[in-house]
Amino acid sequence: MRKILILTTGGTIASVQSPDGLVPGITSDQLRAYLPQIGPEIAIEICSVFHIDSTDMTADHWVAIAEAVQRSYDEYDGFVITHGTDTMAYSAAILSYMIQNADKPIVLTGAQRPIGFEITDAKSNLQDSILYAADPRSRGVQIVFAGKVIAGTRARKVRSMSYAAFASINLPEIAEINNGRIIRYLTDEDFCNPDPARRQDQAQEPDRSANPPDSGVRFSTRLNPNVFLLKLTPGMDPRLLPEIFRLYDAVVIESFGAGGIPQSLEQTLSEELNKYSPEEKVLAMTTQVTYEGSHLETYEVGRRIADRFQLLEARDMTLETAVAKLMWILADAEQTWEQIRSRFYTPIAKDTLL
């Protein structure tokens, strides 16, 4: 028998209609009444971690989820986390760093319509997630939604209302689930360990995991939430930059196209960065374009800043993953710029292939 623990966090799947719109209102005990018929070979237990709209998700909530998995990890064969869709991609990304080398599945799912509605995607998503979490071949952090299995580091919400809410960005889907059958396209083991062919030399880096290397699953429950995502707009006022750099330890700039900084911002950006060492204020570049990633070397506006500043480039990472990875990396103090850079570019759970 396979034992599955469902961890509830609120979200649309557990919402009810109120005079002011949908609000989380179904408890974990009430959720049990809606569970699909799975079969006697799977035993399910339910535990509430918290009960919020996912818009209110914070780093403290991510720590609470990771700690809930850690406390019960040895007791269960798989985990299903019910979660609101709006920030699910961020949560899946950050949990991919907080729970590494998992030999069990940690599945996030939710719904576009509450489970108590007559017409809903919640029951099918929950059923697919339980089946996937109960399969001995499943492992690592993934999103299961609308019959698709997506790596936790590659998911993005691309539709606000339709059932097919999530897409896998710059990486094929891991699997599909059709009528209770799992059709696998990628091997789940690929998502547990950094690719040794792409691993950069980290011999001089201290072990920063909660568990020693090669000990199986590794939990890390510290985050630095002081990472700011700045979306460029044409003609943006550079006077924003000093306050952003004062308040945050890292700034991820979501640039246009292949990547670059407008000349109108470059001088102020240079002045701010010159006030700090690269490890004190980390600058990272990503793109507003959904697919194919950033390529700073393509245009002069990108090459100019790449040559002028010490920065990180997200390349084919999603913006959610770039933000999450920096929150995880910067939770550790007293790192050099070289260590931060090496950790950012070391692939984890297929977060980057470039």
pLDDT, residue 190, reads 57
Q: Quickly count helices (H) and strands (E) in the chain.
A: 9, 18
Q: For the chain, give the number of residues.
A: 354
The active-site residue out of 9, 12, 120, 286 is 12
Please write the tens of the pLDDT for every residue from 329-348: 999 988 999 999 999 999 99
> Domains, the chain, ranges and CATH?
2-191 (3.40.50.1170), 225-345 (3.40.50.40)
The residues of the chain scoring below 50 in pLDDT are 194-214
The model's pLDDT over 215-269, given as tens digits with 9 standing for 90+, comes to 589 999 999 999 999 999 999 999 999 999 999 999 999 999 999 999 999 999 9
pTM for this entry: 0.91
Q: Say what the pLDDT of residue 268 is.
A: 95
- Residues 274 and 245 sit within 8 Å (Cβ to Cβ): no
Q: What is the pLDDT of residue 247?
A: 96
Active site residue 12: yes
Predicted confidence at residue 170, as pLDDT, reads 97
Widest Cα–Cα separation across the chain: 65
C-alpha triplet 101, 105, 110: angle, nearest 5°? 130
59-72 vs 88-98: helix crossing angle, rounded to 10: 50
Predicted local confidence at residue 191, as pLDDT? 53
Burial environment of residue 18 by CB neighbours within 10 A (0 to 12, 13 to 18, 19 or more): exposed
pLDDT value for 121 = 95
Residue 338: count of CB within 10 angstroms of its CB: 13
296 near 332, Cβ under 8 Å? no
Phi, psi at 43, each rounded to 5° = -100, 130
